[in-house]
Structure 1
Amino acid sequence: MIVCACLYLLGGSSRGRRQRRGEDVVHPLKVSLEDLYIGRSKKLSLSRNVICSKCDGKGSKSGASMKCSGCQGSGMKVSIRQLGPGMIQQMQHPCNECKGTGESISDKDRCPQCKGEKVVPEKKVLEVIVEKGMQNNQKITFPGEADEAVFTGDIVFVLQQKEHPRFKRKGDDLFVEHTLSLTEALCGFQFVITHLDGRQLLIKSLPGEVVKPDSFKAVNDEGMPLYRKPFLKGKLYIHFTEMRRKQQQAQREAYDEDDDEMPGGAQRVQCAQQ
C-alpha cells in the first residue's frame, strides 16, 4: 500500500501557535467618473467586531474554560481524503467546534454580553476621501480598523469606476466620440462639450481644415487631473466618427431633392468662409 506524504496546511498546537495579525476587510466602493475628476468625500457606516469589554475577550465570567473535546485542545482537526487506489491525503483545518481556539466554555460560565464569542459588534462611521485623479481599482486603506485582534487588520476600500455614458478614460486621458455630418467634415464645425465638472468647452475646426473619418483631435489640459498633482491634467481626445449609413442615405436623398429644385448647373453645397 502506497501512502502519500501528509500535507499540513495549518499546523502546530494552540500552545505553539503565534498570535497572528487579524485579517483585512475589503469593501468595493462604486464611484463615478465625475467623482474621480472632481474629488469627493463619502461617509460610510460599517460594522466590526471588537473585544468584549465585560469579559476582556475571555468569553466567560470568570475566565474559566475547558479543553475542547472536538480537537483535544489543539484547535485543529485532521481530515483524510482518498486520492486513488492505495493513496490518501491528510489535511489539517481549524476545529469547527471551538473555531480554532482549542477551548470550550460551558453555558453557565459564558459571558452574558458576548455569549462566549469574546467579541461584540460595533458600528463605526468612516469618511472615505476620493481624491482627484484616483484610478479604477485603487485602494484606500484605514489601518487598524478591521475586526479587533491582538494585531488588528485594516479596512480597505477598492474603487470601482462606473461606466460613463459619454466619456472614456485611459490613464490620465479622456476620450469622447462626436459624429460629424459630411458638410461639417468638409466645411468646418463648431459644437459644445459639457465636461465632467459642468464646464462648457467650445470645440471648433481650424480655417480650411478637413476632418477625416476616424480621426482624433487633442485638447491639452482637459483630461483627468493627475493623482496628488491636480493642477496637472492629461489630454481630452475627441474621436470623430462617420455618420451612419442610414443618416448618409437620408442626407443624399435630401440633396437630390434640392437638385430637382435647382436650375441646371447650380452649385449644391458651398462651404462658408472662415
Structure 2
Amino acid sequence: MCPPPLPALVLAVTVQTTWAGVLCSWTSDESTRRLPSGWRDGLRSLHDLAGCEGYNKAARPIAGSVAELLQALDLEDDGSDQAVDRQRLKRSYRELSVKHHPDKSAESSGFQRLRHAYEILDDPVKLLLYDTGGLELVRQYEMHPDEVPTTENLELSHSISLEEAYGGGDYALGLSKQILCLSCRQQPRLPRCRRCQACPDEVHLRQVWINQWEYYMEEMLVPSGERCRQTDLSLNMTIERGAMSGDRLRFEFMAAQLPGHVPGDVLVNLDVRKHPLFKRRGSDLVLSLHISLLEALVGFKREVVHLDGRVLHLSVPRGGVVHPESLLEIEEGGMPVHEDPSTFGRLLVQFQIEFPEHLDPKAVAQLEEAFAL
C-alpha cells in the first residue's frame, strides 16, 4: 500500500493538531464542570487522547453535594454555621448502620452508601474537599495526600508568665481566619451564606498554543465560584507544666481555608516572660536574695512567695555566717521537668550581701571590740 502524498499528511497533522488545541481549550472551560459525570469522563478520555497535559491541574474536579450526603443519613442542613451537627451525625449513623447492616438487610449497597457519606461528613478536611472538589478530590487526598494543595501554615507567638509555665493549664487563644461557606455555591439561600462573599480568585493553568505543534502552560486567575468569610474563633490551648520558650503548639488543619485545598496548621510559638524575682536555668530556679551585712553575720529569717503561691521560709540560724556569693540549694524547689512534670528541678538561692558604704568611728570601735582586733 502506497503512503499518502505529503500534502495530505501535512493537512492531517494540521487538522489533528488544531482539533487537539480546540479540544484542550474547550475541556478546560468552566462550563464543562457542570456536565454529568458520564459526559465528563468521556471528555476526559478525549482530552487524554489529544495529549493535553496539565488537565487535572487546570480544572478542579466537579464539586459534590453535601446535602445528598446528609440525606443519606436522614439529616438536613439547617443553614447554621456548623453545617454538620456531630452528635446528631453519630447518633443517626449508629441507628441507620444497624438497620442497613448486611447481616440484617439484603441491600448491602445501602450500607455502603451510608458508610461512605458518614466517613466524609465526620472528617472536616474531607468535607471541605468534597464540597469544593467532589469525591474525586477526596479519593486523591486519601491515596496521595501530598498531591492535594495545602494552604500556608499560620504562625503565631504567645507570651506566658513564668507562673503559667510552672503550673500549666488550659487557655483560650483568639484567632481570625478565612473559612469556606459550605454548600453556599449550590444553596446560596442558606442562612449562613448571607454573610459570605466570593472567595479569592483561584489560580488555574491553561494551555497557550505557540503554533500548531507546541504549547506551554500559563497560570491564570479565575474568579472563584465558592463563598468565603472571615470568622473569629477560639483555640483551646493546653500549656504543659514546665513549658519553655521556643516550645511550639500545633493545631492541625486550623489555618485559612481555600477551595480545593487542605487547610494548613496553626503553629503557636511560646515565649516565657522574665520574672522579677526568679530566673530560670533549665529546670532550676535561681533566686537572688539580698541580705544586709548584719544578717550575714548574725543570721536572718525571710519569707518568699513561690510561683505556685506557697510561702517559702528561708533562714540562717543565729550565729550562722553567710559568705559572699554563697549558694543554698533546695531540692525539688525548682520548675517541673518538662519531660516528667512529676519531678522538679532545684531552687538555687544566691545570697547577695549588701555592704555599707562607710562606718562611723563608733561602729568601727564596736566591731573591733566584737572581733577582738
Q: Relative to structure 1, is the Cα distance of residues 162 and 19 closer, same or farther in structure 2, using a 3 angstrom cutoff?
A: same
Deviation at 1:237, TM superposition (A): 0.4
In the other structure, the counterpart of 1:29 is 158
Distance 2:165 2:153 in 1: 25
In the other structure, the counterpart of 2:285 is 174
Q: In structure 1, which of residues 117, 120, 138 is the aligned counterpart of residue 247 of structure 2? A: 138
Q: Relative to structure 1, is the Cα distance of residues 266 and 225 closer, same or farther in structure 2, using a 3 angstrom cutoff?
A: closer
SS in 1 for 2:218: coil
Within a 5 Å distance, the mapping from 1:74-93 to structure 2 comes to: 74-75=218-219
Distance 1:202 1:258 in 2: 31
Distance 1:225 1:66 in 2: 54
Unaligned runs of at least 5 residues, structure 1: 1-11, 76-101
Contact 1:66 1:104 in 2 (8 A): no
Which has more radius of gyration?
A: 2
SS in 2 for 1:249: coil
Distance 1:14 1:172 in 2: 56
**2:328 aligned with 1:217, yes or no?**
yes
What TM-score do the two structures reach when normalised by structure 1?
Answer: 0.64
SS in 2 for 1:36: helix
In the other structure, the counterpart of 1:45 is 174
**2:148 aligned with 1:19, yes or no?**
yes
Within a 5 Å distance, the mapping from 1:132-211 to structure 2 comes to: 132-149=241-258, 150-205=261-316, 209-211=320-322
Q: In structure 2, which of residues 351, 355, 360 is the aligned counterpart of residue 240 of structure 1? A: 351
Report percent identity of matched pairs.
25
Structural RMSD (CA): 3.6
Q: In structure 2, which of residues 357, 361, 373 is the aligned counterpart of residue 249 of structure 1? A: 357
Deviation at 1:162, TM superposition (A): 1.1
Contact 2:177 2:255 in 1 (8 A): yes
SS in 1 for 2:243: coil
Q: Relative to structure 1, is the Cα distance of residues 29 and 42 closer, same or farther in structure 2, using a 3 angstrom cutoff?
A: same
Unaligned runs of at least 5 residues, structure 2: 1-52, 59-146, 187-197, 209-215
In the other structure, the counterpart of 1:86 is none
Deviation at 1:158, TM superposition (A): 0.9
Q: In structure 2, which of residues 225, 233, 257 is the aligned counterpart of residue 124 of structure 1? A: 233
Distance 2:236 2:291 in 1: 45
The number of equivalent residue pairs is: 210
Cα deviation code 1:87-126 (max 9, x no counterpart): xxxxxxxxxxxxxxx2323xxxx75x84xxxx32222211
Deviation at 1:178, TM superposition (A): 1.0
- Give the structure with the larger helix fraction: 2
Deviation at 1:20, TM superposition (A): 2.5
Distance 2:205 2:291 in 1: 79
SS in 2 for 1:37: helix
SS in 1 for 2:351: strand
Distance 1:243 1:47 in 2: 52
Cα deviation code 1:124-176 (max 9, x no counterpart): 21111212111111011111111125322111111111111111001100001
SS in 1 for 2:280: strand
What TM-score do the two structures reach when normalised by structure 2?
Answer: 0.49
In the other structure, the counterpart of 1:55 is 185
Q: Relative to structure 1, is the Cα distance of residues 266 and 19 closer, same or farther in structure 2, using a 3 angstrom cutoff?
A: closer
SS in 2 for 1:257: helix
SS in 1 for 2:354: coil
SS in 2 for 1:45: strand
Deviation at 1:14, TM superposition (A): 8.3
- What letter is aligned with 1:37? Y
- Give the structure with the larger strand fraction: 1
- What letter is aligned with 1:257? K
Contact 1:173 1:237 in 2 (8 A): yes
Distance 1:243 1:184 in 2: 10
**2:104 aligned with 1:104, yes or no?**
no
Q: Relative to structure 1, is the Cα distance of residues 211 and 19 closer, same or farther in structure 2, using a 3 angstrom cutoff?
A: same
Q: Relative to structure 1, is the Cα distance of residues 155 and 267 closer, same or farther in structure 2, using a 3 angstrom cutoff?
A: same
